């Protein structure tokens, strides 16, 4: 690879300091680095009030789109910790997976359909949830949550009752 181009860029998973995901993503974008912090809205309940809060879907992680040779630039910001590695190499996420994640989170039409019927070990075609060419394996279920390992990402996604649709 003699010259750098956008085709040499990949999405990487970057660990952040706790509760610094959205701030770091914004800082990196100010630095000209494409960063994505997927978020979901949760209802937080305290003894005196309820409030909708936007929380990161991937705790202490964001996705950055950057050329391999420039990956170290993210460490100019103090909230960047390290990259996620998979089999000894920096974990790469495909653009299709990132776009599927974005479209999944942007879709406001989710409903719950039989969460209690899901069982650990079941393989799921994640196409119905907006993921293309990604298979997931259910690892945990309860009456309110379902944890699915996205095999293409090597990550567990936790779906809550209000956002899950099958």
Sorting pLDDT into bands at 50, 70 and 90, what band is 57? confident
Domain count, the chain: 2
State the Cα–Cα distance between residues 93 and 79, nearest whole angstrom: 21
Q: Tell me, yes or no, whether 125 lies in a domain.
A: yes
- Within 10 angstroms of residue 144's Cβ, the number of other Cβ atoms is 13
pTM of the model: 0.65
Residues 86 and 150 in one domain: no
Residues 26 and 87 in one domain: yes
Per-residue pLDDT tens over the stretch 21-42: 999 999 999 999 999 999 888 8
The pLDDT assigned to 96 comes to 82
Per-residue pLDDT tens over the stretch 132-158: 566 677 777 666 676 677 666 666 666
Q: Tell me, yes or no, whether 106 lies in a domain.
A: no
């Amino acid at each position: 690879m003699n010259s750098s181009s956008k085709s040499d860029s990949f999405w990487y998973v970057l660990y952040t300091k706790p509760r610094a995901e959205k701030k770091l993503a914004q800082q990196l974008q100010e630095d000209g680095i494409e960063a994505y912090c997927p978020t979901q809205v949760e209802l937080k309940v305290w003894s005196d009030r309820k409030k909708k809060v936007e929380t990161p879907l991937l705790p202490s992680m964001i996705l950055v789109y950057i050329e391999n040779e420039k990956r170290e630039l993210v460490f100019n910001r103090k909230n960047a910790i390290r990259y996620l590695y998979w089999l000894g190499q920096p974990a790469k996420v495909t653009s299709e997976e990132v776009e599927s994640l974005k479209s999944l989170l942007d879709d406001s039409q989710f409903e719950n359909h039989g969460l209690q019927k899901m069982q650990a070990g079941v393989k799921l075609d994640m196409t119905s949830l907006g993921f293309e060419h990604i298979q997931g394996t259910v690892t945990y279920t309860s009456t309110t949550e379902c944890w699915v390992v996205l095999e293409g990402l090597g990550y567990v996604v936790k779906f809550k009752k209000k956002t899950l649709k099958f």
